[in-house]
Amino acid sequence: MHHRHLYSSTPRTARRAVLHAALAVPLALGIAGHAAAQTAATAFPTKTIRFVVPYPPGGPTDLMARMLQPELQSRLGVTVVVDNKGGAGGNTGSAEVAKQAPADGHTLLLAASGPMAVNPSLYASMPFNPLTDLAPVIQLSAFPLVLEVHPSLGVKTFAEFLAMAKAGKPVLNYASAGNGTPQHLAGELFNTTAGVKMGHIPYRGAGPALNDLIGGQVNVMFDIVGSSLPHIQAGKLIPLAVTSTERAKVLPNVPTMAEAGIAGYQITGWHGIAVRAGTPQATIDKLNATVNAIFKEPAFRAKWEAIGTPAVGGTAADFGALIKADAQRLGKLVRDAGVTVD
């Protein structure tokens, strides 16, 4: 009995050992795979980062990317290259990141309110879906616009301008950077909320529109504060009101639309960073933390705010909520005003 028990137990022990070893293999592989994924995420970045700007060089969108480029490069320890991919109101470059870039965080999009929130209601078809094809990383800016006029118009206050616009004499036309741009939507929102009927003159970009405003070929424009600030300071343009809920730091004596008597008026152009959907959360978190850290540097904040926008920052969820909210709000404005890209 003793010998039978001794010899019969040996195979069972061996079988248990084999079974335990077999079970340990997938468990070990699972742990190793998880560790590898964590290592890959924490190791980010591992190569050059491409920072896609969906507009041509020049202007505030491009400027922000180029201000961030050396800071990101220094903190992340890899080369960061700004790549301008303009076209179709920002859709071309945005779609490239949304549809073609690897979902690994090494391709960043300078995400603007136009292609992210306005264009889906402006274009008959879109090459990407901003809400599902891209993942928000962080909000960068909240650009107020300023309602400004050429001195030849003969008004110096918002009240004088509103009275002229309501009278319709002379007929007022406002310039914009093109159909569906923040400058255009600001004018349409003003027509609706103030009960006036200004005409719209679309230009191919904010630069040409601003040049004609300064030259007196057109008398009214809603423009990004940072772009117009030097001309306002030089006395070439007269600022009447800003379109944000708070006064612009660089124009402390210019009232908001609400302060000027137009209740419920608010529109800002904003920018942020987005990556292709499916990018690891740890990578998004690292990018978010890096930009927030950059924005906490007093010298950088001062330089950033000099272009007319606060250094916003915040969480990825904050930026995602803004994109969704403005897609609904601005989309409704586009549809109600019958705005098209033509």
The string of pLDDT tens digits covering residues 162-186 is 999 999 989 999 999 888 888 999 9
Answer whether 189's CB lies under 8 Å from 267's CB. yes
> Which tokens sit at 223?
């423009």
Other CB atoms within a 10 A radius of the CB of residue 331 amount to 16
Low-confidence ranges of the chain (pLDDT < 50): 1-11, 14, 18-19, 22, 25-26, 28, 32-37
Rounded Cα gap, residues 33 and 108, in angstroms: 27
What's the confidence (pLDDT) of residue 334? 87
Cα atoms found within 13 Å of the Cα of residue 278, Cβ hemisphere only: 11
Name the burial class of residue 322, with classes exposed (0-12), middle (13-18) and buried (19+) by CB atoms within 10 angstroms of its CB. Answer: buried
- Residue ranges with strand state E in the chain: 49-53, 80-84, 107-112, 134-149, 173-176, 199-202, 220-224, 238-242, 268-276
- Can you give the pTM of this predicted structure? 0.80
Answer whether 116's CB lies under 8 Å from 94's CB. yes
Region class of 105: left (phi > 0), else alpha (psi between -120 and 50), else beta: left
> Which tokens sit at 282?
């740890």
What's the confidence (pLDDT) of residue 39? 52
Nearest Cα to Cα of residue 252 among 263, 264, 242: 242
What's the confidence (pLDDT) of residue 57? 85
257 pairs with which residues across the strands? none
What's the confidence (pLDDT) of residue 58? 77
The CB-based long-range contact list for 215-218 (8 Å cut-off, 24+ gap) reads 216/150, 216/152, 218/150, 218/173, 218/174, 218/175
What's the confidence (pLDDT) of residue 179? 83
What's the confidence (pLDDT) of residue 338? 82
The CB-based long-range contact list for 188-193 (8 Å cut-off, 24+ gap) reads 188/333, 188/337, 188/339, 189/265, 189/267, 189/333, 190/147, 190/222, 190/257, 190/262, 190/265, 191/337, 192/333, 192/336, 192/337, 193/257, 193/262, 193/263, 193/264, 193/265
135 pairs with which residues across the strands? 275
What's the confidence (pLDDT) of residue 42? 62
What's the confidence (pLDDT) of residue 33? 47
Q: How many residues in the chain?
A: 342
Answer whether 255's CB lies under 8 Å from 241's CB. yes
Rounded Cα gap, residues 286 and 272, in angstroms: 15
What's the confidence (pLDDT) of residue 141? 95
User: Which residues lie closer than 8 Å to 311 by C-beta, 6 or more apart?
Assistant: 140, 141, 295, 300, 301, 304, 305
| Torsion over CA: 82, 83, 87, 93 (sign) | negative
What's the confidence (pLDDT) of residue 55? 87
What's the confidence (pLDDT) of residue 5? 40
Region class of 85: left (phi > 0), else alpha (psi between -120 and 50), else beta: beta
What's the confidence (pLDDT) of residue 283? 98
User: Which residues lie closer than 8 Å to 24 by C-beta, 6 or more apart?
Assistant: none
Name the burial class of residue 71, with classes exposed (0-12), middle (13-18) and buried (19+) by CB atoms within 10 angstroms of its CB. Answer: middle
